[in-house]
Chain A
């Protein structure tokens, strides 16, 4: 099934002409338009431009000038400005805002040939962790409509988990990529602050916000991160550091790696099922050769109070400009 394929497998199939970019995009559009009435993962669809871009990518593929990810259907969290496309951040306040420019992340992924089929639902201005706080209604978790998909990047997580697109962008201030990725059973990474440009990304708490990929696998996340990462002169907080090829280390053995297990994160209130899952993962890492070391970060207990002082203060400053 096309929608279960990894990015590498899809690129391979496109190279072998098993299907065209247009057929690939049409396949995901059909899935998205079927599922969205129940999942509410998308606020805005861009099916028409996606079809046109797919035809264009087919042309580039046939004359050998296609960029590296030509034809891969993705979706952008509705916090990224997309030129000519409504960008709401999940808020009624921006219900009529058509972005006059595109975020650097959007530009980079577009230049790499990916095709966005729509803008995904989110908690309003990224404040929330259940996706129930969107003006456009709650997102449902594809695994069960009785549970939330997490948030604030819940629309992106649900869309990838339900295979409505191959990958999606998200943003994470205090868990907004990692938590919905976990709740929907996909892969999400919050990269180091400064790794990815925040230009064109509607700000929540500027000293904590960071964009990242949300995908079906670590390999797909590495492929997307390769494109998204890098210095941008338009974002003075983006790091002027070289970007390594993240796919290079995917098959390296874990032998020689030391993994810190921070005991402060496994205290009171931990669901036993989660603890078992973490312990199982640790044993698997050990079996692969990694060394697990218990560490202590005693100031961790101040993280939540610090977050709830810093994040709302920065949000207040940022939202006064909306």
Chain B
């Protein structure tokens, strides 16, 4: 995939980011370099290399399914600039 101006502007629109005209070239360049690194990784020969997901033989621990969290709604809502009926009120982001 080649990152050009159109790709950057499209990504910015999808992510709802405002990018100034004179910044576009910078993002074309830096996003392009990340994709180059991805290509570099894809060119590595991994034939015969055993996949490793955890070097410490970590296991997925299980626990009894019981409620461990206590009700702290008031404490958590204290961070909300606005709340209503125990819910966070946030600005509308989806048209």
Give the B-binding residues of A (Cβ under 8 A).
96-98, 100, 192-194, 233, 236-237, 239-240, 302, 304-306, 308-309, 312
Contacts and interface: CB of A to CB of B under 8 A. Distances in A.
A35 B56 CA distance: 43
Contact of B40 (A233, A237, A305, A312): A305
Interface stretch (B6-14, B17-25, B72-80, B86-94): B72-80
Chain A interface SS verdict (over half): loop
A193 B41 CA distance: 23
Given A98-B78, A312-B34, A302 B41 contact: yes
A100 B72 contact: yes
B47 interface: no
A100 B41 contact: no
Contacts of B56: 192-194, 239
Nearest to B53: A207
Given A100-B75, A302-B44, A308 B60 contact: no
24 contacts: A96-B79, A96-B81, A97-B79, A98-B78, A98-B79, A100-B76, A100-B78, A100-B79, A194-B56, A194-B58, A233-B63, A236-B60, A236-B61, A302-B40, A304-B37, A305-B38, A306-B41, A308-B34, A308-B37, A309-B34, A309-B37, A309-B38, A309-B41, A312-B34
A302 B41 CA distance: 7
User: How many interface residues does chain B have, given as a range?
Assistant: 10 to 19
Chain B interface SS verdict (over half): loop
B42 to A, nearest CB: 10
Nearest to A299: B44
A304 B34 CA distance: 11
Interface in B44-58: 44, 56, 58
Contacts of A97: 79
A193 B56 CA distance: 9
A120 B2 CA distance: 40
Contacts of A233: 63
A22 to B, nearest CB: 30
B94 to A, nearest CB: 15
Contacts of B81: 96
B58 A237 contact: yes
Nearest to A192: B56
B65 to A, nearest CB: 14
Given A100-B72, A302-B44, A305-B40, A239 B58 contact: yes
B67 to A, nearest CB: 15
A238 to B, nearest CB: 10
